[in-house]
Amino acid sequence: MDGSQPFGEFEAAVAAALEAWDAVKLRRLWDADASLWSGKDEGEWLGWLGVAQEQLDGVERLRSLAADIAGGGFQHVLLLGMGGSSLCPEVLARTFGPTAGHPELRVLDSTLPAQVRSMSRAIDPQRTLFIASSKSGGTLETNVLLDFFWDAARRAGDPDAAASRFVAITDPGSSLEARARSDGFRIVAHGLASIGGRYSALSDFGMLPAAAMGLDVREFLERACKMVRDCGPDTAPDANPGLVLGVALGVLARGGRDKVTLVASPGIASLGAWLEQLLAESTGKRGCGLVPVDGEELAAPEHYGEDRVFVYLRHTSAPSATQDAAVAALEQAGQPVMRIPVASRMDLGAEFFRWEFATAVAGSLLGIHPFDQPDVEASKQVTRDLMQTFEETGALSEPAPLFEGDGIKLFANPANVEVLSRASASNDLPGLLTAHLSRLGAGDYLGLNAYVEQNDTHQVALARIRHAVRDARHVATTLGYGPRFLHSTGQLHKGGPNRGVFLQITADDAEDLAIPGRRYSFGVLARAQALGDFQVLGQRGRRALRVHLGPDVAAGLDRLAAILERALV
């Protein structure tokens, strides 16, 4: 990091905390001393500390796999996965794009019928290599996507040849490995039991897709290994890039600056989604945590509260003059700004490690276990219960709407219905939305959770909503597409600080899509996931309102954005 006073009023506190992280304490981290955190099983989850070097030592295996795939006549590589299994490959695909002589990497991490259909139409199943990626092997979304594309591949040509177009990445002994070996998949690659999903970028979960798309994995890993050495136990604490970042994030969060606003140059902007999961799922528990804010366009300093810290990942070979000016204005206004220069896109591997290390350090300062996700299971269980009910009755149980009109329905649990009914000047759509947004106070954030297809049109409308709220209420905003965010910020929403005011957006499916071999469709599954997520938010006492649109999602979002903009005036 550069900048002589990046921590503002927290400069002395950060310096003191760094001094407390002497060489002995730093060595304890590298020696897997769980007492640095909660004293539980943290020491069993530190395989990521050495995986970059292990991968580099065995890089010829990855290069051999890349050559095999390049010679297979594939046009696309389609990765099917969620969270830690999908976000690193997505960053690499969006950052580097297609490489000559290699198939183009694409990622699918959604159960929404529209999203699955869009991807299925974009590829030729006879010329696509499918990678099913799941650490546990039991990830529901990955398995139903595998069912769908396995069926598509077998129907598109010789059924017996389909297996040669499938790869599995999973931990040893998983059900996915058993299926892959039984069906004769082209490749079965393993993760490490000592690495959790969100720390797995430099393992095969990230590096096999990287090799498949033609990335120079040797150079990528060499740069990552330099960062590993720079963060090592023999580096002075104040010169250790991962330690400095982690201590700063932890100290500022304890001082109320817990909204980590990620600003990245356009060429590396997709890194934000990976960082969002790492920070949110690692630290958002036991009522505390870092709230990552990715994708907010920078505004003038007066639109921000005193709960922010800005981290500027500046691509030094292709910076944005607009971002430079906006970040400088924020720093001049007294906002804490940390600048991280990124010289090359090939340094993303180094950034993966820097931030993994920093997150572990920040977790120590916050007194939490940075490698578990205790609240993720809650919504999964409710979803399973809803799916069981559907299989028994043929219907999903939904409550009566709080409001219905203008093609929009509003839903809330009883506690939130009571609050909104009292606060609304008129129990119509604008009145109820105004009442909900009025619950945003200093230090809160708007959590916009959209179970709609992730495309450019919807992105524009949702960004319009979040920026209108940010500018009017001076609060941070987050945007997650369901169900993918359940494997990312979902842990923070339920286990982190009760600072979120949530607006969940769902919609009718214009056209559903069957899942081969299942008694339910993609539409039913996605709706159950949304309902399960919303139900658990209510159980955790979160301020949550669900807005349900009709089948014309684009029109519904535009209408909702216009109403919210008027409500915020």
pLDDT digits (tens, 9 = 90+) for 400-409: 999 999 889 9
Q: pLDDT for 449-482, tens place per residue? A: 999 999 999 999 999 999 999 999 999 999 999 9
**Residue 175 in 3-state DSSP?**
helix
User: Is residue 5 predicted with pLDDT exceeding 80?
Assistant: no
**What predicted TM-score, i.e. pTM, was given to this entire model?**
0.97
The per-residue pLDDT for range 224-237, each reduced to its tens digit, is: 999 999 999 999 99
Give me the mean pLDDT over the 267-275 stretch: 98
Check residue 77 and give its pLDDT: 98
CA distance readout (Å), 195 to 48, 270, 376, 448, 470? 6, 23, 18, 30, 36
Q: Is the pLDDT of residue 383 over 80?
A: yes
The number of beta carbons lying within 10 Å of the beta carbon of residue 440 is: 21
Average pLDDT of the residues in 56-83: 97
Whether residue 395 contacts residue 64, with contact meaning beta carbons closer than 8 Å, is answered with no
Of the pLDDT bands very low, low, confident and very high (cuts 50, 70, 90), residue 220 is very high
What would the pLDDT profile of 474-532 be if each residue is shown by its tens digit?
999 999 999 999 999 999 999 999 999 999 999 999 999 999 999 999 999 999 999 99
Give the mean model confidence (pLDDT) for residues 45-58: 98
SS3 100: coil
Mean of pLDDT values over 57-61? 98
DSSP three-state, residue 404: strand
Amino acid 453: pLDDT: 98
Name residue 2's amino acid. Answer: D
Give the SS3 label for residue 3.
coil
| 2, pLDDT greater than 60 | no
pLDDT band (50, 70, 90) for residue 1: low
Render pLDDT for 78-131 as a digit per residue (tens, 0 to 9). 999 999 999 999 999 999 999 999 999 999 999 999 999 999 999 999 999 999
- Residue 523 and residue 521: Cα distance in Å, rounded? 5
Helix, strand or coil, per DSSP, at residue 350: helix
Residue 32, pLDDT above cutoff 60:
yes
- The span from the CA of 253 to the CA of 290, in Å, is 7
Span 169-175, average pLDDT: 98
Q: Is 175 a residue whose pLDDT tops 70?
A: yes
Q: pLDDT band for 538, please (50, 70, 90 cuts).
A: very high
Closest by Cα among 405, 408, 403, 404 to 561: 408
Sign of CA dihedral 182, 186, 191, 196: negative
> What average pLDDT score do residues 197-214 get?
98
pLDDT at 183: 98
Supply 413's token pair.
């649990």
pLDDT band at 425 (very low <50, low <70, confident <90, very high): confident
Give the pLDDT score at 230.
98
Q: Where are the beta strands (DSSP E) in 207-323?
A: 259-264, 291-294, 308-315
pLDDT interval class at 6 (50, 70, 90): confident
Distance CA 2, CA 387 (A): 51
Mean pLDDT of the region 340-351: 98
Asked if pLDDT for residue 4 goes beyond 60, the answer is no
What SS3 class is residue 445?
strand
Quote the mean pLDDT of the chain: 96
Cα–Cα distance for residue pair 206/277, rounded to 1 Å: 15
CA–CA distance from 14 to each of 21, 31, 236, 369, 434 (Å)? 11, 24, 15, 21, 40
Q: Which pLDDT score is estimated for 9? A: 87
